Amino acid sequence: MKANRMEAFSDGVLAIIITIMVLEFKLPEGHDWYALIGLGPKILSYIFSFVYIGIYWNNHHHLLHMVRTVHGRLMWLNLLLLFWLSLIPFTTAWMGESHFAPTPTALYGIILLLSAFSYRLLQLAIIQQHSGDSSFVVSMGKDWKVKLSPFLYLIAVLTAYVSPWIACFFFVLVAIIWFVPDKRIEHALRGQ
């Protein structure tokens, strides 16, 4: 099987995740701009999650272009990533509804942490397919973003009980780090 089937399935799941998140919005009570103020926390949590899903979609797209052959292990690792990402709408809704209470914010961070861990496992399985291409393996092994992100998520989870806004700072920090897609994969693709 080619990776494009796995990528198409993943794209569909990510599109559904975004759709579920936006369907969580209920119409405001009033009919003026002030009616939207009450939706502020929900809108903010939606923006966080939309950006994260977009980042995963973008980097996942690049990563899957490096797949040489699709096998069962790769498909299960991809499903594991999609599983954790599919929980983002739930935690997004809870975090927004609770106005960023500590426990929903911490759970949001835990889901992001598990998503990052799953992404790393998928990345390592794809790197393993390139074991004969030492320059690619060395290049991908130096992925500081993949190594730093779980640490920042863990800090976010722990600080959610001190201040959810400090936790949100770390969520934004990780998003900023990942906003620009990984150029190493593009360079490797051009070199093939």
Q: Which tens digits make up the pLDDT trace of 26-67?
A: 888 888 888 888 889 999 999 999 999 999 999 998 888 888
**Does residue 138 register a pLDDT over 80?**
no
Residue 66: what pLDDT?
81
Residue 131: what pLDDT?
74
| 142-146 contact pairs (CB < 8 A, 24+) | 143/182, 143/184, 145/177, 145/178, 145/182, 146/116, 146/119, 146/120
How much of the chain exceeds pLDDT 70, in percent? 88
Q: What is the mean pLDDT of residues 110-135?
A: 88
Name the band, by pLDDT with cuts 50, 70 and 90, for residue 130.
confident
Read off the DSSP letter of residue 111: H
Residues with Cβ within 8 Å of residue 136, at least 6 apart in sequence: 66, 127, 130, 188
pTM: 0.90
